[in-house]
């Protein structure tokens, strides 16, 4: 069977199965997610065994440390995945909500209500947690899921899908609402992206290269999740005691994720007080430093290893313990730097000036702005979404962490009493 026919078949199966979702009650969908969470916890040993195979294969094939970190599942991460499913189950029902309603002069009653997209494809890299996060969000919002993970996580994804389908088999919802697309052939991704009319939406989650490929090639509508070249700007009115832990957390807490900071910008008026300490602490945390002229002088004066940043450095999403550093003359200069090199994901300002915070927010064209807080808070679970299907940095339909509400569209229901248009 060709890949095009395979995807068409899987999409047809998923769409038919989705009828059991759209006719299921909110409580039915909640029960399904609770079953999935419990099954993941009960079969933790199977998950870790499968993931260990992926990890060994990844190490043997030279998978970089960033991808290995994203690939790894341990007890804490598996418990987090199950906990995320429970949090999604506890969220308000996203379906059937009235967006607006009115009665026209001719007596027609109009109601706009939230409904599922239908069949949603996910294309993602080396993050088996996305397999569950995406599935439970899509199920709870009434959508069928076509999951196309990477070959590096093949065993992990397979056992997680098996566990979820087994859990659904004990409910009124068909297990066929979750379909795992084979990952050993790259052409299955192309077939998914070209399945217009069979698949209603495709969401990529992974590297900038993956996202760009999906957006450029897909004939199916897409929601573009974003690469994360995020910045921390330390303003001239910053509380420097707050600034240091915010900076370190933004960079070092988990450097492989998209909301980790890649560049530190420091106002020139506080550079003398802050920069030497910041560079030293970053270096002590294992961060490789790429500095502009001013910050490089500070590093060398204090015997802190650093190298000169290149033009390419400023737009690089490192995903590892590397960071750019620059001194800027004004807040506007910081915003200009972000405009030029950022990816519209997350920007942070550390300042005690409300006026400066307000101006920075106005100048930051991005999905999330942090004021005196770490960039790491741009996260579905942290923001109360339970889990997330991705973080969108585009401007159409959804922006920022995407949870249940963002996985719905709307239908107009028009009720009449025999009216005809004249």
Mean pLDDT of 96-112: 96
Question: Is residue 385 pLDDT above 80, yes or no?
Answer: no
Q: CATH code for 230-373?
A: 3.40.309.10
* Confidence at 402, pLDDT banded by 50, 70, 90: confident
Q: What is the tens place of the pLDDT at every residue in 25-56? A: 999 999 999 999 999 999 999 999 999 999 99
Q: Average pLDDT of 323-343?
A: 97
410 or 208, which is more confident: 410
Quote the mean pLDDT of the chain.
94
pLDDT at 394: 80
Which residue spans of the chain are classified as CATH 3.40.605.10?
3-225+403-415
Q: Quick one: tokens of 351?
A: 């300042």
Give domain 3-225+403-415's CATH architecture.
3-Layer(aba) Sandwich (3.40)
Q: Decide if pLDDT at 368 tops 90.
A: yes
Residue 9 has pLDDT above 80, yes or no: yes
Above 90 in pLDDT, residue 17? yes
pLDDT value of position 392: 86
- Of residues 281 and 388, which shows the higher confidence score? 281
Residue 194 pLDDT greater than 80, yes or no: yes
**What's the CA gap between 287 and 303, in Å, rounded?**
15
The answer to whether residue 396 scores a pLDDT higher than 80 is no
Query: Which range has the worst mean pLDDT, 56-70, 108-122, 323-337, 375-389?
Result: 375-389
pLDDT of residue 383: 84
From the number of C-beta atoms within 10 Å of its C-beta (0-12, 13-18, 19+), residue 361 rates as: middle
Cα four-point dihedral sign 19, 21, 25, 26:
negative
User: Strand pairing of 144-148 and 119-124?
Assistant: parallel
| 331-341 vs 354-363: helix crossing angle, rounded to 10 | 30
pLDDT digits (tens, 9 = 90+) for 129-172: 999 999 999 999 999 999 999 999 999 999 999 999 999 999 99
Positions of CATH 3.40.309.10 in the chain = 230-373
Q: Please spell the DSSP secondary structure of 251-273, one letter per residue.
A: HHS-TTSTTSEEEEEEEHHHHHH
Can you tell me the mean pLDDT for 173-185? 95
Evaluate if pTM is beyond 0.85. Answer: no
CA distance 29 to 263: 42
């Amino acid at each position: 069977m060709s890949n095009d026919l395979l995807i068409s078949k899987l999409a047809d199966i998923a769409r038919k199965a989705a009828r059991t979702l759209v006719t299921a009650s909110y409580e039915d969908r909640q029960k399904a997610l609770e079953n999935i969470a419990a099954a993941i916890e009960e079969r933790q040993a199977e998950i870790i065994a499968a993931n260990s195979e992926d990890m060994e294969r990844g190490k043997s094939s030279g998978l970089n440390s960033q991808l290995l970190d994203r690939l790894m599942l341990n007890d804490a991460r598996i418990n987090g995945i199950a906990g995320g499913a429970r949090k999604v189950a506890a969220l308000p029902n996203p379906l059937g909500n009235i967006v607006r309603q009115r009665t026209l002069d001719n007596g027609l009653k109009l109601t706009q209500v939230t409904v599922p997209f239908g069949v949603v494809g996910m294309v993602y890299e080396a993050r088996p947690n996305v397999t569950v996060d995406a599935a439970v969000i899509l199920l709870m919002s009434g959508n069928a899921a076509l999951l196309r993970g990477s070959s590096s996580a093949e065993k992990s994804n397979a056992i997680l899908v098996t566990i979820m389908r087994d859990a659904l088999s004990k409910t009124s919802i068909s297990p066929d609402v979750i379909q795992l697309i084979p990952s050993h052939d790259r052409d299955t991704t192309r077939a998914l992206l070209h399945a217009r009319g069979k698949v209603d939406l495709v969401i990529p989650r992974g590297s900038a290269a993956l996202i760009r490929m999906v957006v450029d090639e897909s004939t199916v509508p897409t929601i573009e999740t974003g690469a994360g070249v995020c910045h921390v700007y330390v303003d001239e009115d910053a509380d420097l005691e707050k600034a240091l832990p915010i900076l370190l957390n933004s960079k070092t807490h988990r450097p492989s994720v998209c909301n980790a900071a890649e560049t530190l910008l420091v106002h020139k008026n506080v550079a003398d007080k802050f920069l030497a300490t910041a560079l030293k602490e970053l270096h002590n945390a294992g961060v490789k430093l790429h500095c502009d002229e001013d910050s490089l002088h500070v590093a060398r004066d204090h015997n802190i290893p650093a190298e000169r940043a290149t033009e390419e450095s400023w737009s690089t999403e490192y995903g590892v313990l590397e960071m750019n550093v620059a001194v800027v003359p004004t807040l506007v200069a910081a915003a200009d730097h972000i405009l030029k090199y950022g990816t519209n994901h997350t920007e942070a300002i550390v300042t005690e000036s409300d006026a400066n915070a307000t101006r920075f927010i106005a100048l930051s064209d991005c999905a999330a702005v942090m004021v005196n807080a770490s960039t790491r808070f741009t996260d579905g679970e942290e923001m109360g979404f339970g889990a997330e299907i991705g973080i969108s940095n585009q401007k159409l339909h959804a922006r920022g962490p995407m949870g249940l509400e963002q996985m719905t569209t709307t239908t107009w229901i028009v009720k009449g009493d025999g009216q005809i248009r004249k």
